[in-house]
Amino acid sequence: MNRYFEAHERVFKAHTLILPLVEMAMQRGVSADLLLKGSKLFFEDFKTHSQLISCAQLDVVFSNASKLLAKDGVSFLLGERLSHTASGNGLQALLHAKSLHHMYRISQLRQFELFPYMYTKNFRTQTHTHFILNFAVHKPSTQVTTFFYELVASLIERVLKQRLGMLATQRLDAFDYCIQFPFPEPSYIEQFHSNLCGSYSFSHQSFVIAISNKLLNQPLADAMPTLAKYYLCQNDHIAHRVGFLQFVTTLISKFPRATSDQLAHKMGYSCATFKRKLKQHQTSFKELKDELQKQQSLFNITELGYSNEQAAAALSFSDTTNFRRAFKRWTGKTPSEYRHIWSR
């Protein structure tokens, strides 16, 4: 079995995301057939508990939902629903974790079971940890990307509030917890006001959730870490597969000087096959490498206060001129322009 799965492979349980979304759509007068149009799925399929779907099929349904139900906030509601209805040993371990940091570690160990569609990179300062979420399987359309971001923001916030013992109406302190969305403020901004209690802002370069280290390491009153370990051991035998893009990006991080041809060889592909597979997943080797470097340089410049020389050296650029050119290509702004905007 491959250590990764691709966008066309049916590996996700349909009942996790699709069925609740279909039910919510029907409650709002949108037929199941209309929501599932183009996905090669039918409402009758969900009568089989073992029905599996692919990431490509999920994208079609999310795209339909974005067009038909954006103003209804179903992306946020789906995230909230998942926090109440998800099951499995991985979730039980998560709910007995001793701290939010422990929860994060469990989510990494049980990513396929808990949320295999995205993966997280984290960057740490003295006060905060910044979690950057990226798509694990392929790069979806803009509509689907936005739907996923809203879903994840809602899901994480609900889980945080449950574990912190907060009331539904309580707000999370902006210093302790904030979200950066990589898209402009939407026309249905009232859905963000209604469904998110944390601090959030728009038009950023990446989807980032920043949590203070104090909150991240704060002991949770109802924690049972021994029980969490027990649940983790229950499915320790399962195969830990990740999405195709996550696997490739991990290789790029591990071998930053490797060429596309060299990575293709490591994965057992010809150069042409590797390039074709990346294209099938809506990306390229250059785009993946650029995204990694962009995320690292943005953190170094905005959070660590690196100079151009320091930022260039951290990414092994030969000189600052090449770094400035690359930074402007990644972000549309020079490092100096970006610092000015960030400091306002």
What are the boundaries of each domain within the chain? 4-234, 255-343
How far CA 98 is from CA of 114, 129, 298, in Å, comes to: 18, 18, 31
CA–centroid distance for 89 within its chain? 21
Which residues neighbour 146 within 8 Å (Cβ) at sequence distance 6 or greater?
Answer: 66, 75, 183, 186
Specify the 3-state DSSP secondary structure of 178: strand
Confidence of residue 241 (pLDDT cuts 50, 70, 90): confident
Residue 3: strand, helix, or coil: coil
CATH number of 255-343: 1.10.10.60
Mean of the per-residue pLDDT values of the chain = 91
Give CA–CA dist 259/317, Å, rounded. 16
The predicted structure's pLDDT at residue 237:
54
> Residue 236: what pLDDT?
56
pLDDT, residue 344, reads 64
User: For 86-96, what is the mean pLDDT?
Assistant: 86
Q: Which residues contact 158 (CB under 8 A, 6 or more apart)?
A: 79, 80, 83, 84
Whether the pLDDT of residue 238 is over 70: the answer is no
Of residues 149 and 339, more confidence is placed in 149
Q: How far apart are alpha carbons 69 and 65 in whole angstroms?
A: 5
Task: Tell me the mean pLDDT in the region 7-27.
Answer: 91
pLDDT higher than 60, residue 210: yes
What's the pLDDT score for residue 163? 87
The domain over range 4-234 is classified in CATH as 3.90.1520.10: yes
pLDDT of res. 239: 61
* Averaged pLDDT for residues 55-68: 95
pLDDT in tens, 144-163: 999 999 999 999 999 888 88
Q: What angle do CA 207, 210, 215 make, to 5 degrees?
A: 150
- The average pLDDT across 223-246 equals 84
Helix axes 244-254, 285-302, angle to 10 degrees: 60
Does position 197 have pLDDT exceeding 80, yes or no?
yes
Is residue 342 very low, low, confident or very high in pLDDT (cuts 50, 70, 90)? confident
Confidence of residue 329 (pLDDT cuts 50, 70, 90): very high
Inter-residue contact 281 to 138 (CB < 8 Å): yes
Cα distances (angstroms) measured from residue 141 to each of 68, 134, 147, 235: 16, 14, 10, 34
Mean pLDDT in residue range 36-43 = 93
Average pLDDT over residues 9-29: 91
Question: What's residue 253's pLDDT?
Answer: 95
Residue 47 has pLDDT above 70, yes or no: yes
Instruction: Provide the pLDDT confidence category of residue 170 given band limits of 50, 70 and 90.
Output: confident
Residue 77, amino acid: L
pLDDT computed for residue 221 by the predictor: 85
CA distances from 83 to 79, 114, 237 (A): 7, 11, 25
User: Higher pLDDT residue, 323 or 233?
Assistant: 323
* Dihedral class, residue 29 (left if φ above 0, else alpha if ψ from -120 to 50, else beta): left
Percentage, residues of the chain above pLDDT 70: 97
Question: Do 162 and 306 meet the contact criterion of CB atoms below 8 Å apart?
Answer: no
Report the percent of the chain where pLDDT is more than 90: 74
CA–CA gap between residue 132 and residue 215 (Å, rounded):
18
In the block, residue with structure tokens 């280290």: 213
Burial of 92 (0-12, 13-18, 19+ CB in 10 A): middle
Name residue 212's beta-bridge partners.
128
> Among 48-52, 68-72, 120-124, 150-154, where is mean pLDDT lowest?
48-52
> Which helix H or strand E contains 330, and what residues bound it?
helix 320-331
The Cα 132–Cα 73 span in angstroms is 23
Neighbours of 21 (CB within 10 A): 25
User: Could you tell me whether strands 118-124 and 128-135 are parallel, antiparallel, or unpaired per DSSP bridges?
Assistant: antiparallel
